[in-house]
Amino acid sequence: MKRYDLLVIGSGPAGHHAAIQGAKLGKSVVVVEAQPRVGGAGLNTGTIPSKTLREGVLALRRARSWESSLPGSPERWDEAMRALQVRCRHVIDQEVEVYRAQFARNRVEVLNGLASFVNPHRIRIEGPHYETEVEPAAIVIAAGSVPARSERVRIQLPSVLDTDSIFSLTRLPRSMIVAGGGVVGVEYACMFAALGVAVTVVDLRTRLLEFADAEIVEALCYQMRDAGIALRLGEELERVTPLPGGGVDAVLKGRKQLFADTLLYAVGRRGNTASLNLAGAGLEADERGRIPVDTRYRTRVPHVYAVGDVIGFPGLASSAMAQGRLAACDAFDHPAAGERRLFPYGIYTIPEISFVGQTEAELTAAGVPYEAGIARYREIARGQILGDVGGRLKLLFHRETGQLLGVHIIGEGASELVHIGQAVLTFGGTIDYFLDSVFNYPTLAECYQVAALAVVNRLAQARTPRYAAVDGESGERQPARVLADADTACV
Residue 21 has a pLDDT of 98
Residue 466 has a pLDDT of 58
**Top-confidence range, 140-154, 337-351, 440-454, 462-476:** 440-454
Query: 300, 280 in Cβ contact below 8 A?
Result: no
Using CA atoms, how far residue 98 sits from 16, 39, 92, 366, in Å, is: 11, 9, 10, 45
Q: Report residue 483's pLDDT band, with 50, 70 and 90 as the boundaries.
A: very low
**Percent of the chain residues topping a pLDDT of 90:** 80
Query: 187, 171 in Cβ contact below 8 A?
Result: no
Q: 200 phi and psi, to 5 degrees?
A: -125, 125
Strand partners, 161: 264
Q: Please provide the DSSP assignment of 160-227 as one string.
A: EEETTTGGG--S--SEEEEE--SHHHHHHHHHHHHTT-EEEEEESSSSSSTTS-HHHHHHHHHHHHHT
Residue 473 has a pLDDT of 44
**6 membership: H or E segment, kind and range:** strand 2-9
pLDDT in tens, 342-400: 889 999 999 999 999 999 999 999 999 999 999 999 999 999 999 999 999 999 999 99
In this predicted structure, the answer to whether residue 422 has a pLDDT above a threshold of 70 is yes
394 secondary structure, DSSP code: E
Strands 198-203 and 175-179: parallel
Domains 2-147+270-331 and 351-461 share a fold: no
Q: Report residue 486's pLDDT band, with 50, 70 and 90 as the boundaries.
A: very low
Strand partners, 124: 116, 133
Contacts of 262 (CB under 8 A, 6+ apart): 158, 159, 160, 161, 169, 173, 175, 176, 177, 247, 248
Angle, vertex CA 36, rays to CA 30 and CA 39, nearest 5: 65
Count Cβ atoms within 10 A of the Cβ of residue 170 and give its class: 0-12 exposed, 13-18 middle, 19 or more buried. exposed
Question: Mean pLDDT across the chain, nearest whole number?
Answer: 91
In this predicted structure, the answer to whether residue 474 has a pLDDT above a threshold of 70 is no
Q: Report residue 451's pLDDT band, with 50, 70 and 90 as the boundaries.
A: very high
Q: What is the pTM of this model?
A: 0.90
Where are the domains positioned within the chain?
A: 2-147+270-331, 160-267, 351-461
Q: Report residue 470's pLDDT band, with 50, 70 and 90 as the boundaries.
A: very low
Q: Report residue 478's pLDDT band, with 50, 70 and 90 as the boundaries.
A: very low
Residue 74 has a pLDDT of 58
In this predicted structure, the answer to whether residue 136 has a pLDDT above a threshold of 70 is yes
Q: Average pLDDT for residues 286-303, to the nearest whole number?
A: 96
Query: 420, 357 in Cβ contact below 8 A?
Result: no
pLDDT in tens, 242-279: 999 889 999 999 999 999 999 999 998 999 999 999 99
153 secondary structure, DSSP code: B
Distance CA 438, CA 466 (A): 21
- CATH number for 2-147+270-331: choose from 3.40.718.10, 3.50.50.60, 3.30.470.20, 3.90.730.10: 3.50.50.60
- CATH number for 160-267: choose from 3.30.750.80, 3.40.50.1980, 3.50.50.60, 3.90.1150.220: 3.50.50.60
Distance CA 175, CA 159 (A): 11
> Between 450 and 487, where is the model more confident?
450
Residue 34 has a pLDDT of 97
pLDDT in tens, 300-354: 999 999 999 999 988 899 999 999 999 999 999 999 876 567 889 999 999 999 9
The b/e string for 377-409 (b: 16+ C-beta within 10 A; e otherwise) is: beebebbeebebebbbbbbbbbbbbbbbbbbbb
Query: 162, 266 in Cβ contact below 8 A?
Result: yes
Q: Average pLDDT for residues 98-110, to the nearest whole number?
A: 98
Residue 13 has a pLDDT of 97
289 secondary structure, DSSP code: S
Among candidate residues 208, 204, 203, 197, the one with its CA nearest the CA of residue 260? 197
Which of these ranges, 59-73, 154-168, 212-226, 439-453, has the smallest mean pLDDT?
Answer: 59-73
Q: Report residue 68's pLDDT band, with 50, 70 and 90 as the boundaries.
A: low
Amino acid at 169: L
Angle, vertex CA 210, rays to CA 208 and CA 213, nearest 5: 105
- CATH number for 351-461: choose from 3.40.50.300, 3.40.50.720, 3.30.390.30, 3.40.50.360: 3.30.390.30
Which of these ranges, 46-60, 221-235, 280-294, has the smallest mean pLDDT?
Answer: 46-60
